[in-house]
Structures are given as C-alpha cells and as structure tokens.
C-alpha cells in the first residue's frame, strides 16, 4: 500500500511540475496584434515548420498554431492568466508551454514586471531567461531563438504584406 501511495504522490507531483509562468493580465507586447509568426522547431535533428497567429479577443489572447498546410495543431485562449482550450482540438501541453514562453519573449522590457518576481531574468539587451528553463536570444524584437535543453525554436515575424 505505501508503494501505491508513493507512486500516486510522484505522479501528482509530476503533473504539477514547473510550468512556464504567465502574468495575470496580458502585458504590453513589442508588436501590434494580430501577429503572425513563422516558427521553426528543432529537436534531435528533426525540424518542423509552423505558423502561429496571435489575436486579441477582448481581454484575452487567442493563440492558433498551424502546420504549413494550414491545419490547426493547437488553439488556446489566455484569459486572466489562465489557459483554456479554444475549439475542439485536444489539449497540447507542448504548445501551451511554447505560447507561454513566446508571450514572455514578446513582452516589452518595460512590462516584464507583470511576471512573478524571481521567475525571469533580463541578462542583457539580447538575452532573457524565464523559469523553468527557457532562454531567449534576440536578433530583433520579433526575430529570436527560444530554447531549453534539447529543444529550440527559431521565431520570426511573418510579414504578409510582402507576399502581395
């Protein structure tokens, strides 16, 4: 019986593992919404390309992740510091963590105080860190790499006007 309780306790702790924090209110961002981003994901020498659209929905932010063919991979609403599913797609924990890290990366430097104290670090103008283990390296305000152990994302703004 004690082994079963230990197993249940460790599963519960694993489910509550450190999550990427989000502020209770959407912070000021470096770019106007709606914002369309090109995302290149690399893990174990496997690369995937995605498209992300971030839109304002009243006080909430809608995050829609799509594959190159436009098929939705994840849709989430961030409202009052809480994530909730948007639509009929199954929950996608990786996408939710990516969205939380992206929100931090896109937050203006003067708005970082919206995040919990001790959860982030502004290393210099080109680098930030966010708990639990995200690092952001900037080439420009909406041109950066976002990564943690074994997983990297290359993020760039997609200017739809250029394709006209």
pLDDT of residue 37: 98
Q: What is the CATH number of the domain that holds 52?
A: 2.50.20
Count of the separate structural domains present in the chain: 1
Residue 133: how many CB atoms within 10 A of its CB? 13
CA angle at residue 88 from 85 to 28, to 5 degrees? 30
Pairing of strands 60-66, 151-157: unpaired
Q: Does the residue 6 lie in any domain?
A: no
Q: Does the residue 129 lie in any domain?
A: yes
Domain of residue 44: give its range.
20-163
Alpha carbon distance 105, 143 (integer Å):
10
Q: Does the residue 75 lie in any domain?
A: yes
Q: Does the residue 14 lie in any domain?
A: no
Q: Does the residue 5 lie in any domain?
A: no
Q: Does the residue 93 lie in any domain?
A: yes
Residues in the chain predicted with pLDDT less than 70, given as ranges, are 1-18, 160-164
Q: Does the residue 12 lie in any domain?
A: no
Q: How far is CA 112 from the centre of its chain?
A: 15
Q: Does the residue 7 lie in any domain?
A: no
Alpha carbon distance 74, 55 (integer Å):
14
pLDDT of residue 87: 87
Q: How far is CA 90 from the centre of its chain?
A: 17
């Amino acid at each position: 019986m004690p082994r079963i309780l230990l197993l249940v306790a460790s599963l519960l702790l694993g489910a509550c593992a450190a999550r990427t924090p989000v502020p209770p209110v959407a912070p000021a961002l470096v770019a106007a919404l709606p914002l369309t981003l090109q995302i290149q994901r690399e893990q174990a020498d496997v690369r995937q390309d995605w498209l992300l659209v971030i839109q304002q929905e009243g006080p909430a932010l809608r995050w829609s992740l799509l594959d190159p063919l436009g098929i939705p991979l994840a849709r989430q609403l961030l409202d009052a510091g809480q994530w909730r599913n948007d639509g009929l797609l199954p929950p996608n924990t990786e996408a939710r963590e990516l969205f939380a890290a992206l929100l931090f990366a896109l937050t203006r430097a003067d708005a970082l105080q919206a995040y919990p104290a001790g959860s982030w670090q502004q290393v210099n103008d080109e680098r930030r860190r966010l708990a639990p283990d995200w690092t952001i390296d900037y080439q420009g305000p909406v041109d950066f790499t976002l990564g943690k152990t074994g997983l990297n994302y290359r993020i760039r703004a997609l200017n739809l006007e250029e394709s006209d």
